[in-house]
Structure 1
Amino acid sequence: MVQLGELRRRQGRFDEAEFLFAQAEFHPSAIAGRARIHLASGDYASAWTAIRGLLDWLPQNSRVLRADVLYLAVVVARAAGEVEQAQLLADELRLTAALTRTDSLMASASAADALLAPPAAAVPLLNEAVRLFNAAGLRFDEAHTRLFLAEALLATGDKVAAQRHLALATEVLSGLSASDDLAHARRLAKAAGEPAVGGLSAREREVLRLVSQGLSNPEIAVSLVLSEHTVHRHVANILTKLGQTSRTGAASYAIQAGLL
């Protein structure tokens, strides 16, 4: 129930996620999931109340259980203006990561440290987090972290690197239908100087034309003599530029906008 709720949350289907989390009211992941929904809606106080209560309930000596929510706790505490608490939680996560030496926790610790650092210092921390999430096989976390890396890169003036990470993140997030993160990616793409909505390249228009005809990525690859990976990348870029989260939506938008 909690896993399905988390999937719906990542897809931006918050009402469904709330219902599913309610079925497992006292499960730590359900509490964390509801806190994430509060965070996404801008209700930082409620998110912090939920996370603080969860951490108070989890014993200090249960390092692994606490570590599962510490990164989120840092994010929420920072958003709620609890900067000192955020730093304490980041320090705890870093200590647990150092003790366990698992890729996933070390990645989370680096990402948490980056949240509390200026952009120039955050970039190497986020690069490390992306690398470790990749090593751990956590594709969603890797893509999600690439968005924050792109944001930090933009703040330091490196638009080229930011665009590269946005493209890689969008490719994964599109496949997962992670609408909330895709919206974040679109905002960053605009700041990174990506072409305006509808500013498709000639190749992207070719791909979009075949998408609108209902062809799958393998079929498009054969038709245009491209690799499936390249087609997937083009589709991801098309979705970002058109501000859409599905192939059907992109095709419909393109037809209405006269792009085909």
Structure 2
Amino acid sequence: MGWQRVFGGQVIGQSLVAATRTVEGRGVHSLHGYFMRPGDPEVPILYQVERIRDGRSFTTRRVVAIQHGKAIFSMSASFQVDEDGLDHQIDLPEGLPMPEDLPSEQEFKERVIDGAPENVRRYWQRERPIERRPVDLRHYLTREKLDPYQYVWVRTTGPLPPDRESHACVLAYASDLTLLDTSLFPHGTSVFDKTIQTASLDHAMWFHRPFKADEWLLYAQDSPWTGGARGFSRGLIYTREGVLVASVAQEGLIRPIDPAKA
């Protein structure tokens, strides 16, 4: 797509796969990662896992993703045995359309692809493993300055294995989609804008309940703050029945660049 770097969600998801393969009988409940260098899409990524702790209830792993002999990403992940306890959640926003009421990706492509810039066309024409159905399409069609809120239905384009770990790793991959863009809404721009440099800086995720990533999940996002060449965004992920299954927080780089160098 002209960005010449590995998608951050791929490194997050694969790091979690690597950590999960060293843990038995416990599901991931949180991960915290930092992006240090852009990933090179032309070479493999080596994932090194360090066994930090194996306790009675919690297990901790540290993962470093390496290319060209240097770390490009580091992540700590914590796993927990299933336990009962106090229980509450913030409810799903009311009145949002269900995914069946929204245009499919194919319908969206047919609507906007001809008038879109070349890099946007290349992005939407590529086959991807996650289907998205945004509740509001204005961000893709106009330069209008919007409130920093976004709601997107997501699911895999095909069935996943039944194990809980696969669904967690796939959702970790998908959690990096659209999140940085939410911090750009109030500025009438997007990650496709060639006058700004954008990249994920750090990423945190908490898993609350088991879920199926090959069934529709609502990704409710907001961006409380942007400044200092950084944008901060948050996300809550719900099932279509309104069960909160995961939460996400991320800071991303938003740096103006010289248009002559774009």
TM-score range, shorter chain: under 0.3
Q: Which has the higher strand share?
A: 2
TM-score normalised by structure 1 residue count: 0.23
Which one has the largest radius of gyration?
1
Relative contact order, higher structure (CA 8 A, sep 6+) = 2
TM-score normalised by structure 2 residue count: 0.23
Q: Which has the higher helix share?
A: 1
